[in-house]
Structure 1
Amino acid sequence: MSNKVTTIGLIVIGDEILSGKRVDAHLPKVVQLLAARGLQLGWAEYIGDEPERITATLKRTFATDDIVFSTGGIGATPDDHTRQAAAAALGRPLVLHPQGAENIRQRVRQVAQEEGREVDLEAPENLQRLKMAEFAEGAELIPNPYNNVAGFALGTHYFVPGFPVMAWPMIEWVLDTHHAHLFNQQARAEQAVLVFDGAEAALTPLMEEIEATWPGIKVFSLPSVGDARTRRHIELGVKGDPAQVAAAFVRLCAGLDAQGAEYQRIP
């Protein structure tokens, strides 16, 4: 049986994020959604609305076994390129998804009924809306509980809108529907200390030794310059495979003792 840990990635697409017009809320929320299921995020990338860059990024990530969530750019306006880029990255044609198109028609009918007006499904604006159901050939739908305009999945890549009110329930649905078998299989433990008035360079050999000795462990170092209330310190710790953390932490403390370092364990 393979012990390979599944890597989960996040791609946030949109010029508005890179320009600062909007502040990304997806990264912290996805971290939270994963943590609630015993999972963790392996990587994240931010990309603007540049078709070539989106295509290149997806071509690279499609070549991995990663589970990837992509937010933004799946609408039907000229600045939305994610659907087309995903198809280009896989070398597949864009095709109208029948159920996706019907979902959009149902939404158009519903809105018209609520507003008390007749609807012409062949009107140019409604035909334009159907482009939101044009996905790479072979795509599967991700239900959108907010307005029924679906996202889409291609293998283990999942594409959802940029709007949090839509994206977050859709990501939860993907996790619970397709990846529940992974829940709590990425269990992680962590133990750390505060090292006072130390230098990271002096700690580096100890950190390298621990990672070489315990392959399932990562050593982290978070320096703080201190302020009027706290001393300068480094949060130094080990995290990873729970079966290895305890032994790695013992070695960490022993190494600090050998250096005569002043440190305090973090509860």
Structure 2
Amino acid sequence: MNIGLIVIGDEILSGKRVDQHFPKVVQILAARGLQLSWAEYLGDEPERIAATLKRTFATHDIVFSCGGIGATPDDHTRQAAAAALGRPLVLHEEGRRNIEQRIVQMAREAGNEADLGAPENLQRLKMAEFAQGAELIPNPYNNVAGFALGTHYFVPGFPVMAWPMIEWVLDTHHADLFNRTPRAERAVLVYEAAESALTPLMVALESAWPGIKIFSLPSVGNATTRRHIELGVKGAPDQVAAAFDALCAGLDRLRAEYVRVQQ
């Protein structure tokens, strides 16, 4: 099962805000033995959001979408999700009740009486308008829910809301995918070598040990660091140890200069 992440917002693409979702989602997934398969960043363009979702809805991927589910004019994700599926937007009754309860709570905290018919409160209710058939994702921060359509999960852009909602989705709906088996990783720094010269060794290792993956991270170097490649193996612990020994033996045969990275 592939897992994807969509982060929506002009503020990310313009650089006004730095995305925090990508590294956190990677961390959340890793804690459950899962990993991200792909990620995309989109601006607040309804047509592009709808086209992207139409493409991802056609897959069996688990997709988390962060941002754009509010009720201001620059929030388009709810409408785009409905358009991508060809479904109408409808007011979710439980979602409406949640928002009304939030409005009442906020009024009491301010020492006022809630006017549910006030224009600003009617606007807030739009946050409970989802594509027909959507299910709610509880929001522990303010009880204004996100929504799910199949294996697509839509949460706010605010990290304090989005991250616990993503964890709830995983723990509630996808615990069967969790892999708590420990993973191992071993690496070396190979100096002044070309990746092309190391590729045959990498291919041979992956062929001999199907439970591991080879990774190669080149660095061009700078005034204080020599040009090098971080070359390593990761995967099942029982295979990583043997594959790493074979990696080092292969580098010795190539007379490559390398040092082992401390774990």
Instruction: Quickly name the TM-score band, shorter chain normalised.
Output: over 0.9
1:76 and 1:186 map into 2 onto residues whose CA distance is: 42
Name the counterpart of 1:148: 143
1:29 paired to 2:24:
yes
1:241 and 1:50 map into 2 onto residues whose CA distance is: 42
- Structure-to-structure mapping, 1:106-125, within 5 angstroms: 106-125=101-120
After superposition, the C-alpha distances for 1:44-96 in whole angstroms (9 at most, x for unaligned) are 11111111111111112112222111100001111111111111112221111
- Count of residue correspondences: 262
Name the counterpart of 2:167: 172
2:203 and 2:228 map into 1 onto residues whose CA distance is: 20
CA contact (8 A) 1:40 1:186 kept: no
Name the counterpart of 1:3: none
Instruction: Letter of the 1:129 partner, please give it.
Output: R
- Structure-to-structure mapping, 1:1-12, within 5 angstroms: 6-12=1-7
SS of residue paired to 1:45: strand
Residue of 190, 193, 196 corresponding to 1:195: 190
Name the counterpart of 1:217: 212
Name the counterpart of 2:99: 104
1:182 paired to 2:177:
yes
SS of residue paired to 2:244: helix
2:156 and 2:181 map into 1 onto residues whose CA distance is: 27
2:237 and 2:86 map into 1 onto residues whose CA distance is: 42
Name the counterpart of 2:157: 162
Of the structure 1 ranges 220-229 and 19-28, higher mean CA displacement relative to structure 2 is found in 220-229
Q: TM-score, normalised by structure 2?
A: 0.92
Of the structure 1 ranges 75-84 and 174-183, higher mean CA displacement relative to structure 2 is found in 174-183
Instruction: Letter of the 1:46 partner, please give it.
Output: Y
Name the counterpart of 2:42: 47
1:239 and 1:53 map into 2 onto residues whose CA distance is: 36
Structure 1 residue 243, shift from structure 2 partner: 4.5
Name the counterpart of 1:76: 71
SS of residue paired to 2:226: coil
Q: TM-score, normalised by structure 1?
A: 0.91
After superposition, the C-alpha distances for 1:195-252 in whole angstroms (9 at most, x for unaligned) are 1221112112222333344444322111223345433221101223445433432332
2:158 and 2:181 map into 1 onto residues whose CA distance is: 28
1:163 and 1:24 map into 2 onto residues whose CA distance is: 10
SS of residue paired to 1:103: helix
Instruction: Letter of the 2:225 partner, please give it.
Output: T
1:87 and 1:79 map into 2 onto residues whose CA distance is: 16
Distance 1:54-1:216 versus aligned 2 partners, 3 A rule = farther
SS of residue paired to 1:246: helix
CA contact (8 A) 2:32 2:180 kept: no
Name the counterpart of 1:16: 11
The Cα RMSD (Å) is 1.8
1:85 paired to 2:80:
yes
Of the structure 1 ranges 60-69 and 96-105, higher mean CA displacement relative to structure 2 is found in 60-69
Of the structure 1 ranges 217-226 and 86-95, higher mean CA displacement relative to structure 2 is found in 217-226
- Structure-to-structure mapping, 1:129-144, within 5 angstroms: 129-144=124-139
SS of residue paired to 1:84: helix
Instruction: Letter of the 1:65 partner, please give it.
Output: H
CA contact (8 A) 1:33 1:172 kept: yes
Distance 1:134-1:186 versus aligned 2 partners, 3 A rule = farther
Q: State the percentage of identical aligned residues.
A: 81
SS of residue paired to 1:146: coil
Point out where structure 2 has 5 or more consecutive residues left out of the alignment: none
